[in-house]
Structures are given as structure tokens and as C-alpha cells.
């Protein structure tokens, strides 16, 4: 039913609108909304006009300077400590605050783009009214325009606030972050910094951080694959186990597992770190049962990197399997049973049925969410940060431990001892590129994102 709206060729060119339009139409090229006002579309006209006035006022008073400061990120690069005789104390003359200059500069650019867009919108609206007038058709009244917001333009109404939110709280910060990668914003330049091109990329890819970047990247990928695969595979098995014939109180069993997933991670993982400590409860239990004679190093700083990494993956299974169990349960319940029945009649055993029918079907249904999980695991901050904090330590790395992922290392670089904001921004970009490449390949292969 919802006919796909085709972009029909404009019934009139802007040139025609300009040359043949009446005064109000012509004025619209300079004073946005004049045409709308002339056609008594008050709300639209006033909104457009106000936007233009506000924009020009802002642009003159602060927009120009905000944008022009962007090129240098502020004129004063060094602080100056001077003695204030009147007060009898030293005061510090601060350098330009480059963070704010960068942020407001980017905001100014976004506003200008929004304004250009608004201008085009204004022209299109003018053209539409012009064409309607020329062809002697009914021009929408103010009321009809407003009513349309809840009918044929419902999408505009509903999308406005989400888009503003995304613009302010996702897009602007993301662009800011990307810009930061091209500056020398770090411990040495904490307030006033400058553009330095690809220098920070150089530090990460071939400079003093490269010895950490590539091994950590390797572990991040291994982790993401292992974490995604183990939780998925064993989640499916657990679901099959609970769903299998003869097991009673299925809801009760599922709930037990769901509880683990429900406890906030900063509780369960912080406590898990103590549970697994060298002198922790698990080692005590194991020694009391007599399974081990000496405590084991699971995730503390003396642990071997391999043991710690395996432990992290196992703890992640503890947290992740309940979710995939739930999802697989739903899929299993909805699977067509005729194929399985047919296979059983043909004499296939349970393993064969699982291997060639159940599992592939679940995999097919789950593929898109698996890709999302994979990306999520690349950025899985909580498990590493709360559980190991990167331990065991690795003296070959710079500011990271053996279980640190790129994202926790990024956090350390920003909020830890070294405060290398630019390097962490570079890491953010590289994480993005890696995620993008992997999802592109995956989506291509699973063909699941036809809609795209």
C-alpha cells in the first residue's frame, strides 16, 4: 500500500521560480518563509523567518569567531604565571581552551550545514507553492499543513526529537572525537593544543604504542570470536538440554540461569574478581574439596596470560550463556518439526539431527544478532575492566595488561596515568574501522542485511 515515493522530476526549476514568481516568492530567496507567509501558512513562515533571523544574529556575534578559531584551536598556547601585587598572590594566565574552541567550532559548522539545509527546504517549499499556484491548484492552508504532520508527514513529527538527540549526543561527540585524533591533545598539552595531522596515528601504528597496539588488537579479535562463539554454541546446547523431552519445570531452570544475567555487571564482575583471587573463595573451595593442593592463579597479576585469558572467556560464558540460551529457546520452540521427524524416521540419531538440522537453522536465524554480538564483544568494556583490570601485567606493553582489550586500553590512555587523549581517539577510530570491516564482510556473507 505505502507506495514508495518516487522523486519525480521537479515540475519547475528554481530558475523559473525566481524569474516568474511573484514578489513574495522572489523574497523567499532572501527572507526565508516569505512565500509561506504570503500563502498564509503562518506557522511555517514564522518558524523559517525566525530561524533565519536567529541564525544571522548568532553568526555575526559568535559563529564567525567560533569557526575562524578552528584553524588554530586558539591563539594562546602557553600559560603564564604572574604575580598579582594587589592581592599578594600568584595567578596563572590560562592558555586558550582548545577543547571548547574545537567543540564550539564543530557545533558552528553543524549549525551552518543545518541552516543551508533549511534554506534548501525553504526554496523547495516555495517552489511547491509556486507550482500549485501556477497550475491553479489548491495551496495547503495553515491548518492542513499542521494536520499533515500527523498523517502523510508523520515521520517528520516522530523523527524530529530522536534526530536532535542523536545530533547533539552522538554525532557531535563522535565528530569531536575524530577531530581529537588529529591534534596533540595529551599530557603535555592538556589545555591548549594544536592540529598535528597524522602524528598520533603514527604513534599508534608505528611509534611507541605500536608494540602494544598490534598484540592487543590480536587478543581483542581472538576474544571477540571466542566470546561470541562460546556463548552462542553453549547457549544453544543449554537451551536444547532444558527443552529436551522429560525435563520438568523448564521455567524454573531457565530462571536460575537468567538470574546471573540480571545481576548488574559491576556487582557480579567486581565480586567475581575477588571470588577468583589467589586467596579467594574459589581457591579455598577447591582446596577444601581436595581437587588442588596449591591455590591457582586465575586472573591476578601472577597468572600466566593464557590462563587469565581462558578464565576471562569462561567468566564471560557465565554471564553470556543465559542470554543466548533464552534466545535459542525461543527459536527452538518455533522451529518446524517436520524435518526433524523425517530425519528421525530415516534413522538419524540425536547428534546428527542437531548437527545437520537444528544447529544450522538456529545459526541462520541468529546470524544478524551474532554479528552485533561480535561487535559488542570487541567493545566489551565491563568484563575486562571490572574483572581483571587488564591483569596479568605485561611488561612488553605500554599502559596495558595481557587481558586488556583495545577499548579498555583506550580508557586507560584517557583516564589513567598518561592522559593521551589523542592516541585514544586514534584507537577509537581504528576500533570503528575494524568493526566496520568485519560487519561489512559478515553482512555480505550472511546476506542478512538486504534491507539495509
Partner 1 sequence: MSIWKKVALGSTAVLAAMSLAACSNGKSDSSSSSSSNQNTKLTLWVDTNQVSYYKKIASDFTKSHKNISVRVTQNPTGSANAKTDVGKDPSKAADVFEAPNDQLGQLADSGYINPLSPKDSNNIKSNYIDVAAKGVTWKGKIYAYPYAQQAQTIYYNKSKLSASDVKDWKTLTSKGVVATDFTNAYVMWPVFFSAGTKLYGDSGEDLKGSTFNSAKGVNALKWFAEQKNNKGVMQTSNALNQLKKGNAQAILDGPWNAANIKKILGKNFAVAKYPMIDVGGKNVQMQAFLGIEGFAVNAHTKSPKAASQLAAFITDKKSQLIAHKEAGQIPVLKEAVNDSVIKNDPVADAVIEMSKPGNSVLMPKLPQMSVFWNDVPPLINGAYDGKVKPDQYKAQLDKLAKHSSKK
Partner 2 sequence: MKSYQNQKRLSLIFRYLLLIILAVAWILPIIWIILASFSYNDTGFVSTFWPDKFTFDNYIGIFTNSQYPLVSWIINTLIVSILSMIISTFLTISVAYVLSRLRFSFRKPFMQIALVLGMFPGFMSMIALYYILKGLNMLNLGGLLLVYVGGAGLGFYVAKGFFDTVPFSIDEAAEIDGATKWQIFMHVDLPLAKPMIVYTALTAFIGPWTDFIFSGIILSTSGNPKTYTIAYGLYNMVHNTKGNATAYFAEFVAGCVIIAIPITILFVFMQKFYVNGITAGAEKG
Scanning residues 176 to 215, which ones bind partner 2 (CB under 8 A)?
176-177, 180
Residue numbers 425-444 binding partner 2 by CB under 8 A: 425, 428, 431-432, 435-436, 439
Told to check if 218 binds partner 2 by CB under 8 A, we report no
Of 13, 68, 141, 170, the residue at the interface with partner 2 (CB under 8 A) is 170
How far is residue 352's CA from residue 339's CA, in Å, rounded to a whole number?
12
- Taking CA atoms, 40 is separated from 129, 148, 273, in Å, by 11, 16, 68
Partner interacting with residue 141 (select from partner 2, partner 1, none; CB below 5-8 Å by kind): none
The residue count for the chain: 452
Of 1, 8, 289, 345, the residue at the interface with partner 2 (CB under 8 A) is 1
Cβ closest to partner 2, residue 94 vs residue 157 = 157
C-alpha triplet 355, 360, 362: angle, nearest 5°: 115
- Of 438, 406, 402, 440, nearest to 423 by C-alpha is 406
Question: 80 — phi, psi (to 5°)?
Answer: -135, 125
Residue numbers 10-69 binding partner 2 by CB under 8 A: none
Q: Which residues pair with 90 in a beta bridge?
A: 83
Partner interacting with residue 242 (select from partner 1, partner 2, none; CB below 5-8 Å by kind): partner 2
Cβ closest to partner 2, residue 177 vs residue 229 = 177
Cell 554454541, located at residue: 233
Annotate 160-186 with three-state secondary structure: HHHHHHHHHHHHHHHHHHHHHCCECCC
Told to check if 50 binds partner 1 by CB under 8 A, we report yes
Specify the stretch interacting with partner 1 by CB under 8 A; choose among 184-192, 245-253, 317-325, 330-338: 184-192
Please report, in angstroms and rounded to a whole number, the separation of the first and last CA atoms in the chain: 21
Specify the stretch interacting with partner 2 by CB under 8 A; choose among 32-40, 190-198, 208-216, 240-248: 240-248
Told to check if 394 binds partner 1 by CB under 8 A, we report yes
Asked if 390 and 408 count as a contact pair (C-beta separation under 8 A), the reply is yes
Told to check if 368 binds partner 2 by CB under 8 A, we report yes
Told to check if 447 binds partner 1 by CB under 8 A, we report no
# residues contacting partner 1 (CB under 8 A) = 76
Cβ closest to partner 1, residue 177 vs residue 363 = 177
How far is residue 133's CA from residue 405's CA, in Å, rounded to a whole number?
63
Cβ closest to partner 1, residue 128 vs residue 134 = 128
Cell 523425517, located at residue: 342
E strands, 63-146, are 80-84, 89-93
Residue numbers 257-296 binding partner 2 by CB under 8 A: 257-268, 270-272, 274-275, 277, 279-281, 284-285
Of 114, 147, 330, 350, the residue at the interface with partner 1 (CB under 8 A) is 114
Of 4, 6, 137, 155, the residue at the interface with partner 1 (CB under 8 A) is 155
Asked if 154 and 53 count as a contact pair (C-beta separation under 8 A), the reply is no
Amino acid at each position: 500500500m505505502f507506495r514508495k515515493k518516487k522523486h519525480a522530476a521537479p515540475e519547475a526549476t528554481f530558475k523559473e521560480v525566481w524569474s516568474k514568481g511573484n514578489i513574495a516568492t522572489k523574497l523567499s530567496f532572501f527572507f526565508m518563509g516569505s512565500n509561506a507567509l504570503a500563502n498564509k501558512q503562518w506557522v511555517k513562515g514564522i518558524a523559517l523567518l525566525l530561524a533565519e533571523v536567529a541564525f544571522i544574529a548568532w553568526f555575526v556575534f559568535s559563529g564567525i569567531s567560533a569557526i575562524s578559531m578552528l584553524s588554530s584551536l586558539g591563539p594562546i598556547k602557553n600559560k603564564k604565571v604572574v604575580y598579582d601585587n594587589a592581592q599578594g598572590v600568584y595567578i596563572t594566565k590560562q592558555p586558550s581552551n582548545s577543547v571548547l574552541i574545537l567543540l564550539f567550532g564543530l557545533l558552528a559548522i553543524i549549525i551552518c550545514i543545518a541552516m543551508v539545509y533549511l534554506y534548501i527546504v525553504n526554496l523547495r517549499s516555495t517552489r511547491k507553492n509556486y507550482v500549485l499556484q501556477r497550475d491553479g491548484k489548491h495551496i495547503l492552508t495553515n491548518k492542513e499543513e499542521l494536520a499533515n504532520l500527523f498523517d502523510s508527514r508523520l515521520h517528520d513529527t516522530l523523527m524530529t526529537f530522536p534526530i536532535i538527540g542523536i545530533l547533539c549526543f552522538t554525532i557531535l561527540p563522535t565528530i569531536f572525537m575524530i577531530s581529537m585524533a588529529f591534534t596533540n591533545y595529551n599530557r603535555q598539552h592538556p589545555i591548549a593544543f594544536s592540529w598535528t595531522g597524522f602524528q598520533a596515528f603514527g604513534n599508534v601504528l608505528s611509534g611507541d604504542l605500536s608494540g602494544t597496539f598490534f598484540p592487543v588488537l590480536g587478543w581483542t579479535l581472538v576474544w571477540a570470536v571466542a566470546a561470541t562463539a562460546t556463548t552462542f554454541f553453549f547457549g544453544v546446547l543449554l537451551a536444547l538440554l532444558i527443552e529436551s523431552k522429560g525435563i520438568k519445570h523448564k521455567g524454573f531452570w531457565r530462571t536460575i540461569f537468567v538470574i546471573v544475567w540480571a545481576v548488574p555487571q559491576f556487582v557480579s564482575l567486581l565480586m567475581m574478581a575477588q571470588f577468583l583471587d589467589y586467596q579467594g573463595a574459589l581457591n579455598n573451595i577447591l582446596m577444601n574439596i581436595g581437587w588442588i593442593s596449591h591455590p591457582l592463579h586465575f586472573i591476578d597479576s601472577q597468572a600466566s596470560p593464557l590462563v587469565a585469558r581462558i578464565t576471562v572467556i569462561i567468566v564471560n560464558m557465565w554471564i553470556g550463556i543465559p542470554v543466548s540460551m533464552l534466545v535459542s529457546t525461543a527459536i527452538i520452540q518455533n522451529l518446524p518439526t517436520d524435518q526433524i521427524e523425517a530425519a528421525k524416521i530415516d534413522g538419524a540419531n540425536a547428534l546428527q539431527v542437531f548437527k545437520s538440522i537444528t544447529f544450522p537453522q538456529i545459526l541462520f536465524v541468529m546470524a544478524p544478532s551474532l554479528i552485533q554480538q561480535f561487535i559488542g564483544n570487541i567493545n566489551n568494556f565491563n568484563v575486562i575492566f571490572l574483572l581483571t583490570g587488564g591483569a596479568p601485567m605485561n611488561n612488553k606493553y605500554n599502559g596495558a595488561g595481557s587481558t586488556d582489550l583495545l577499548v579498555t586500553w583506550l580508557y586507560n590512555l584517557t583516564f589513567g596515568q598518561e592522559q593521551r587523549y589523542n592516541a585514544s581517539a586514534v584507537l577509537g577510530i581504528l576500533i570503528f574501522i575494524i568493526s566496520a570491516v568485519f560487519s561489512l564482510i559478515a553482512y555480505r556473507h550472511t546476506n542478512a542485511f538486504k534491507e539495509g
